[in-house]
């Protein structure tokens, strides 16, 4: 009777509650369903279409032969004056879709008709501090609850039928620059979240809560020197779990405001029982103020989901001086080599390198560039550590107000940013949404002030090519070979999905949802959604038919931070629509 505490009993009697339980528990999302999401095709109860984050579906009702007939069945507007930056992935359970929109809103929608069932608008204070638009990346489902994080750094759990608040919990102080934009995840009965705020000198942290009532279970700060704690009944029962030695990779006091925010949330690998999270830039951006590697900034971390202990770490950009946040998703996958199964994980970093790690221990297997131009490093050494070109690190301001400027590539918005890649179990390829751009970057003096931007740097992002910035790439993780590429004029900022139907889906800021042949890269379908597509597409089976859904709504970091690139895309219209597609029934019957 694990979830009986989650609902309001109709009658205040244990007996009656027990009698009602079987009917109600039919919906209740269980730990097992979450673990099975990678294989189930009739529902999507995790971000990443499986905790491993492969974004691969075994459905092939829709395939390269019939996709030309894929068409919309319904579309729904998020309404209001708040039309911008829609970056969520929908979840689907029992014919209902749960999705977030900009400004910390949640919608429940009939997945067959597009009819809105309920809407929840978080009442946000005026002084929220989102660095990169008022976006949100989705909900978690557990028991009878729909749970998400808000721009004022709270977790909110809603009743799945009514959208009414069941519990609400503050994760961190939004006045200090904290916010939450990532979808939380549920692992072994624990609700896990990260925080945003690296541009404000917060201390990054990953935390676990009891999904039934929002009680804190453990906290793991992600800046070396800060201690982790495990809680029971609101009290720390295991205190001072070390996260490394204070002062070791952070000489001086800057670790106290060291950033490393795990703002994109995380994934989970059931085979190794590890949470896999990434961490953002060390704060401030001006690297001359904080000598050392600055652990665990710009890193991937593997955590024990029971207590938040760090089992291993891999730092992609030690002593980051370019805002190369290491948050990008670390996707678990297995491959065969020399007669052995390699338990690997792959990530396409902001810094331009694609990494394949041994996910049992975090050891570097191989790495290679996945964009055409990298200026800040000459390559990776045998352990995967970058070989710096020190002439491409922006200079110290010294006694001046501004240090020497360099032109560095990739730009800080990344060879790849937050938008998730996909891995096909059929082709063995990763489909990576990447961007070709660089930046002028220089350092400035800065002092920490609570709640104020804490960069100590200035910058202008510039395109590298006249005719395109975005490049969707098919990459072989065993060889580093690029199998195909598809260019796009605007920077790609939406998630990718791949299917057994030999299809790869992704959206463009120009408003198209597109599909490609997974083997050849040939474009096989597109649909104009009316605004830029920044969401992550999903597919599922309902009533024997295969559906595809995606959010449309331009916004996000590019128009706010993009410099010369922002000028290129200034005429793109904002939006807020949820689109759903399928094949006409008679055409499917004929196949
Ligand atoms: Ca950052």
The secondary structure of the chain in percent helix, strand, coil, rounded to multiples of 5, reads: 10, 40, 50
The verdict on whether 121 is a catalytic residue reads no
Summarize pLDDT for 513-546 with one digit per residue, the tens: 999 999 999 999 999 999 999 999 999 999 999 9
Please tell me the distance between residue 434's alpha carbon and the centre of ligand 1 in angstroms. 17
Please tell me the distance between residue 143's alpha carbon and the centre of ligand 1 in angstroms. 34
Please name the residue that has the structure tokens 């999401």.
Answer: 37
Query: By three-state DSSP, how is residue 198 classified?
Result: helix
pLDDT: is 276 or 7 the higher one?
Answer: 276
Q: What percent of the chain has pLDDT over 70?
A: 95
The C-alpha angle 388, 389, 393, rounded to 5 degrees, equals: 95
Checking if the pLDDT of 24 tops 80, the result is no
Q: What is the largest CA-CA distance in the chain?
A: 75
Please tell me the distance between residue 290's alpha carbon and the centre of ligand 1 in angstroms. 16
The dihedrals phi and psi of 101, each to the nearest 5 degrees, come to -130, 175
Summarize pLDDT for 53-108 with one digit per residue, the tens: 999 999 999 999 999 999 999 999 998 877 889 999 999 999 999 999 999 999 99
Please tell me the distance between residue 200's alpha carbon and the centre of ligand 1 in angstroms. 10
Summarize pLDDT for 474-483 with one digit per residue, the tens: 999 999 999 9
The tokens for 430 are 């990763």
Would you call 81 exposed, middle or buried from its count of C-beta atoms within 10 A (0-12, 13-18, 19+)?
A: exposed
Q: In this predicted structure, what is the pLDDT of residue 382?
A: 98
Please tell me the distance between residue 416's alpha carbon and the centre of ligand 1 in angstroms. 13
Kindly list the distances between the CA atom of residue 273 and the CA atoms of 46, 101, 188, 236, 352, in Å, as whole numbers in the listed order.
16, 31, 10, 24, 29
How many helices, marked H, and strands, marked E, lie in the chain? 5, 40
Q: In this predicted structure, what is the pLDDT of residue 525?
A: 98
Q: In this predicted structure, what is the pLDDT of residue 588?
A: 67
Summarize pLDDT for 105-118 with one digit per residue, the tens: 999 999 999 999 99
Please tell me the distance between residue 474's alpha carbon and the centre of ligand 1 in angstroms. 26
DSSP state string for 87-150: ----EEETTEEEEEETTTEEEEEETTT--EEEEEE----TT---SS-S-----EEEBTEEEEE-
Catalytic residue among 37, 269, 323, 325: 323
Q: In this predicted structure, what is the pLDDT of residue 16?
A: 44
Please tell me the distance between residue 413's alpha carbon and the centre of ligand 1 in angstroms. 8
Checking if the pLDDT of 238 tops 90, the result is no
Please tell me the distance between residue 285's alpha carbon and the centre of ligand 1 in angstroms. 8
Kindly list the distances between the CA atom of residue 34 and the CA atoms of 43, 333, 364, 401, 540, in Å, as whole numbers in the listed order.
10, 18, 29, 52, 15
Please tell me the distance between residue 91's alpha carbon and the centre of ligand 1 in angstroms. 27
Protein residues with C-beta less than 5 angstroms from the ion ligand 1: 198, 280-281, 323, 325
Summarize pLDDT for 431-469 with one digit per residue, the tens: 999 999 999 999 999 999 999 999 999 999 999 999 999
The tokens for 87 are 């970056």
Please tell me the distance between residue 338's alpha carbon and the centre of ligand 1 in angstroms. 39
């Amino acid at each position: 009777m694990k979830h009986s505490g989650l609902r309001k009993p109709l009658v205040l009697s244990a007996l009656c509650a027990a009698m009602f339980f079987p009917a109600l528990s039919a919906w209740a999302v269980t730990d097992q369903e979450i673990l099975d999401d990678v294989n189930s095709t009739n529902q999507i109860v995790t971000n990443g279409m499986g905790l491993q984050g492969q974004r691969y579906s075994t459905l092939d009702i829709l395939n390269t032969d019939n996709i030309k007939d894929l068409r919309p069945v319904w579309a729904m507007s998020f309404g209001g004056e708040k039309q911008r930056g829609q970056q969520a992935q929908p979840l689907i359970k029992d014919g209902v879709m749960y999705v977030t929109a900009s400004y910390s809103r949640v919608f429940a929608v009939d997945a067959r008709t597009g009819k809105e069932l309920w809407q929840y608008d978080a009442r946000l204070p005026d002084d929220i501090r989102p660095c990169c638009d008022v976006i949100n990346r989705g909900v978690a489902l557990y028991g009878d609850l729909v749970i998400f994080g808000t721009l004022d750094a709270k977790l909110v759990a809603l009743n799945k039928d009514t959208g009414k608040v069941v519990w609400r919990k503050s994760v961190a102080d939004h006045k200090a620059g904290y916010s939450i934009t990532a979808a939380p995840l549920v692992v072994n009965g624990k609700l896990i979240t990260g925080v945003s705020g690296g541009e404000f000198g917060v201390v990054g942290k990953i935390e676990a809560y009891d999904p039934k009532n929002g009680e804190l279970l453990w906290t793991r700060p992600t800046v070396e020197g800060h201690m982790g704690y495990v809680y029971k009944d609101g009290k720390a029962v295991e205190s001072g779990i070390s996260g490394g030695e204070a002062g070791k990779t952070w000489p001086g006091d800057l670790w106290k405001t060291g950033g490393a925010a795990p703002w994109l949330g995380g994934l989970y690998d059931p085979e190794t029982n590890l949470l896999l999270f990434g961490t953002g830039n060390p704060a401030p951006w001006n690297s001359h103020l904080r000598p050392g590697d600055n652990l665990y900034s710009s890193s991937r971390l593997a955590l024990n989901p029971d207590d938040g202990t760090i089992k291993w770490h891999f730092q992609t950009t030690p002593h980051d001086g370019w805002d190369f946040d290491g948050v990008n998703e670390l996707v678990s996958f297995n491959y065969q080599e020399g007669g052995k199964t390699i338990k690997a994980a792959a990530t396409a970093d902001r810094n331009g390198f694609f990494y394949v790690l041994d996910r049992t221990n975090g050891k570097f297997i191989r790495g290679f560039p996945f964009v055409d131009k990298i200026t800040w490093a000459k390559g990776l050494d045998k352990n995967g550590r970058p070989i710096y070109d020190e002439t491409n690190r922006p200079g110290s301001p010294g006694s001046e107000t501004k240090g020497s400027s360099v032109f560095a590539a990739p730009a800080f918005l990344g060879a790849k940013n937050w938008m998730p890649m996909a891995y096909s179990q059929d082709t063995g390829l990763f489909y990576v949404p990447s961007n070709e751009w660089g930046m002028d970057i220089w350092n400035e003096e800065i002092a920490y002030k609570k709640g104020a931007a804490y960069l100590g740097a200035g910058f202008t992002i510039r395109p590298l090519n006249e005719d395109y910035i975005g490049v969707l790439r098919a990459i072989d993780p065993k060889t580093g070979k690029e199998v195909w590429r598809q260019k796009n004029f605007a920077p790609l900022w939406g998630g990718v999905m791949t299917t057994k139907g030999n299809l790869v889906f992704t959206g463009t800021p120009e408003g198209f949802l597109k599909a490609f042949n997974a083997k050849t890269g040939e474009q096989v379908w597109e649909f104009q959604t009316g605004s830029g597509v920044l969401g992550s597409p999903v597919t599922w089976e309902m009533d024997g038919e295969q559906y595809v859904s995606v959010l449309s709504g331009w916004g996000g970091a590019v128009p706010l931070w993009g410099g010369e690139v922002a000028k290129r895309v200034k005429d793109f219209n904002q939006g807020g629509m949820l689109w759903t597609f399928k094949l006409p029934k008679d055409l499917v019957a004929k196949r």
